[in-house]
Amino acid sequence: MASETMVGDAEAAGAIAGMQELYGLSLPERGQAIRGETKGKRWSGECFHADQFSVIVEIDVDVFITVSPSDIEIE
């Protein structure tokens, strides 16, 4: 099975975790319009659920994706 990780992913994840610990994790609220990029694919929609590990985004009627909180663009 091929891995989808790239060189530097672990370091990037560590840096993100450190910044979230230092500055605090800002999670979207249910119904809030959000957008971002996951694995090179842009998306936008409304927050369906968010916690410190994942955000479920409704991108169309009954179409959902689960992304990392770090994938959300902060405006």
Rounded to a whole number of angstroms, the distance between the first and last alpha carbons of the chain is 37
Supply the pLDDT for residue 32.
94
Q: Please state the domain count of the chain.
A: 1
Supply the pLDDT for residue 25.
63
Supply the pLDDT for residue 6.
76
Supply the pLDDT for residue 56.
97
Cβ atoms of 66 and 55 closer than 8 Å: yes
Beta bridge partners of 60: 63
Supply the pLDDT for residue 67.
96
**Cα angle: 52, vertex 41, 71; to 5 degrees:** 20
Kindly state whether residue 22 falls inside one of the protein's structural domains: no
69: CATH = 2.30.30
Kindly state whether residue 45 falls inside one of the protein's structural domains: yes
Model confidence, pTM: 0.65
Give average pLDDT by consecutive 10-residue segment, the chain, 75 residues.
70 70 75 94 95 93 94 78
Cβ atoms of 38 and 56 closer than 8 Å: no
SS3 64: strand
Kindly state whether residue 8 falls inside one of the protein's structural domains: no
User: The domain containing residue 54 runs over which residues?
Assistant: 28-75
